[in-house]
Chain A
Amino acid sequence: MSIGPSTIERIRKALEQQGIRNRYIQSELCDHIACDMEHMMDQGFGEEEAWNQALAKNRGEEIRTTARQYQGILNSRYYRVKLFLWVTFGMFAVSWLFSFRTGQFMSAVSFMAMGATLILLSLDFFRSRRHHPSNIWLGAGSLLSALLVMSGFILFFLVVNYGVNTRGHSVDLMIFSYVLFSLVAFFYFSRQRRLALESSGSSSYKWFVIFSAAQLFLAVLSFLSLPLYAWAADYIWILIWVILAVDLLSLALLIFLRIRNMIFFVLLALSFMITFIHSPVRRLLPAGEPPAPTQVAVDTGIDPHALRLLSFHQTVSP
């Protein structure tokens, strides 16, 4: 005899009342209690009686300790990702807030750390390929995104410090990375939400699907601005401001809603960092000097569409 969605929801709420909110722990314990109820009902108990007995058996300090221990294991699994993300964002903030005259060396390190964070996530996807075969694709997408963002920043670093003409490919590579990881995040959250709906569970994935869809939309717009640069040049500043605002707003909403997800935080950090270094906002910060105007180089000799965004520092001559 199987129990209905309303009883599942009732178990879920009972677990929440005991402070068990993590969806992985909740769904496993929910299944255990539901099986216990079904077993009792097969033996002739009524649903209400089975509910009372199962709940009495599976509540209290024992179930809370189990949930706490599992939370500890989950935290340690993402410990390295979390650590790398803090290092990434910390170094990125410091590199623009303080001018060390080291030619954005720290910012380069922070982008390498971001690449390493994405590689760690991709390894996690590959490791959990047994859960869902599509994790292989998500892992490959994260890995490619890592390689693109790292190589993109190396080019940016060469432009900024040595004036090397990279034909705007630093922007291209970083935007590819942004599009790819937004796609990974959107696909991941949509899948998780679909699974949560199949189990009739309420889910915080709804928010992550909305946020990652917004990020994907903005990433695709950024991507389209590359071939359509001639047409979009005057409006790119709007896109930059919108992306920065969406990043900050999403972060504020997540804090307000008290929901967390490491993949989404990585996406936010990636989006913010890529957009920020190409925005005029950086010039307002101490390490944003000397000013870095955006210039357009038109290479009419090769390809009519070869309009590239070149961003480099101009040395201020006395």
Chain B
Amino acid sequence: MAMNPMEQFAIKPLIAEPVLHIAGHPIYFTNQALLMIIVALASSLFLTLAVKPNRLVPTRGQSMAELSYEFVATMIHSATGEDGLKFFPFVFTLFIFVLCSNFFGMVPGSFTVTSQIAVTLALACLVIGMVIVVGFMKHGIGFLKLFVPHAPWYLLILLIPIEVISFLTRPISLSVRLFANMLAGHTMLAVFAGFVVSLGTAGGVYMGIAVAPLLLIVAIMLLELLVAFLQAYVFAILTCIYLNEALHLHDHH
């Protein structure tokens, strides 16, 4: 094997010395930390600077910022109704962070923040923790009615454990979906890139065949751009759906 396709996900410290120690554990400044800072700074700078001139006829940058604002606002409104708009800053930040990390990861040679399960699990736990806090603040102990669907009592014996288990697996499914999509896509790109290298160095007629995986990489790259957007969208809309359940329990808004 020419190169390991999983090598691109390795986390390397950029500064050899640990930056600080927390409870005896050394904390390093890694390529992941750098990319996360770049993503956070770039997205917040772009969104603030793009709407700063506040023109009546928007420029391209301003309309990009306004479109993403409207996109997320419509999404929250359709999924959670009027009182879900309180959570706009939370959902918008999540959406933009995941979207920008996915797109920054598509740049060749950079690092995909969301391909690390530590990052996506932290985001998913934040979402589920938020849902639990909001649910208990709004309904008190009545939030536990979420686990009791409308059904005859003999079915409830079966349904309540299923509802509890499905609630508890949400952080796992939410995080694994995003992380596995990014990991699988980038691994696939690396594997096909390995084909190009090994065919290209084989010489002779193989050099001509090497064009085929190269074209395939271009096609997969387009698919990955779609997936990068789609996964950010799915992450945000599932957050909205979970928040909707916490706000309205079983009745529809």
A in complex with B = no
A residues contacting B by CB (< 8 A) are none
